[in-house]
Amino acid sequence: MIKMVVTDIDGTIYTPQTGIKQNTKECLKDLCNKGVIVAIATGRTYGSAKSVADNIGIKCPLICYQGGLINSYEGEILNVKYLNPDIANEIIDDFRKREIHLNVYVEDKLYVENDDDYIKDYIGDKGIDYFKVQSFNELDFSKLNKLLAIRYDSQFIDNLIEELRKKYPSIYTVKSHDYFCEIANKEATKGNAIKFLANKYGIKTEEVLAIGDQNNDIDMIKTAGIGIAMGNGTEQIKKEADFITDSVDNDGFIKAIKKFI
């Protein structure tokens, strides 16, 4: 019996074109009303994740930064894993030289050195504020949530991830979008977040259903009892999934819930 549903946001229940459809909102609210724990798992900030929960109309745990921060809906920090500042500074120096755009997240705030098209495209309609600094060196990295590298070249991102994994095996590096390379604490994964919440609520991971569309969701769907890949998901996540549902445009989330709950 499924007692908890953990869902990714972008490409799973949300698209920039449609937002979150009303029938998807009703499906999520219905789960909550039936006593199923719903958790949102995303690479986004807490503030952005909370705005999604508000838009849906549910109060639920929020897994942010791929699992680096788990907050209650009200904002209480339940669990947090920060990125090593020394490694972060090395990566920042290297990326500056190569002119790789970086988003830096400290204490749930987003900072950039370059107020360029990369950050404007990234923000889109996510409802996220960001702050421009002269240099990331101005920031206190003792509570560094993650780094996000952006380059409009999917192969470049693949190569960058491979390079970082070899050079820094003690950190978590994953592709969360064709153009996004996420860099975080080794334990900051959605799968570990599921384990934490399952333990908190006294349920087994076998009683969890997780659904996502990108490579950063693979760890999550492998941890859950039922792991579902969206029809619009990457080939890698589809290979790891217990079930492949329809695309986000064709209500794949709702179809998966109807099939398994």
Residue 123: predicted pLDDT: 87
Token code pair at residue 141: 């990295």
Token code pair at residue 19: 């937002």
Residue 127: predicted pLDDT: 67
> CB-based contacts of 110: which residues, under 8 Å, 6+ apart?
45, 103, 104, 128, 129, 130, 131
> CB-based contacts of 69: which residues, under 8 Å, 6+ apart?
46, 63, 77, 79, 80, 81, 108, 145
> What letter would DSSP give residue 73?
T
Alpha helix (H) residue ranges in the chain: 22-33, 46-56, 85-97, 117-123, 154-167, 190-201, 218-223, 235-240, 252-260
Distance CA 136, CA 16 (A): 30
pLDDT tens track, the chain, 261 positions:
999 999 999 999 999 999 999 999 999 999 999 999 999 999 999 999 999 999 999 999 999 999 999 999 999 999 999 999 999 999 999 999 999 999 999 999 999 999 999 999 998 766 678 999 999 999 999 999 999 999 999 999 999 999 999 999 999 999 999 999 999 999 999 999 999 999 999 999 999 999 999 999 999 999 999 999 999 999 999 999 999 999 999 999 999 999 999
Give me the residue label for tokens 């109309």.
57
Residue 153: predicted pLDDT: 97
Domains of the chain: 4-80+188-260 (3.40.50.1000), 85-185 (3.30.1240.10)
Token code pair at residue 166: 């070899």
Q: How are strands ordered across the β-sheet holding 226-229?
A: 77-80, 69-71, 62-64, 37-41, 4-7, 208-212, 226-229, 243-244
Give the three-state DSSP class for 149.
strand
Distance CA 253, CA 257 (A): 6
Distance CA 161, CA 155 (A): 10
Q: Quick check: 237 and 213 in contact, CB under 8 A?
A: yes
Q: CA-based Rg of the chain, rounded to a whole angstrom?
A: 17
Token code pair at residue 160: 């960058």
Distance CA 50, CA 72 (A): 9
Distance CA 67, CA 96 (A): 26
Residue 74: predicted pLDDT: 96
Give me the residue label for tokens 């790789």.
100
Token code pair at residue 55: 């838009």
Q: Quick check: 40 and 52 in contact, CB under 8 A?
A: yes
Residue 128: predicted pLDDT: 79
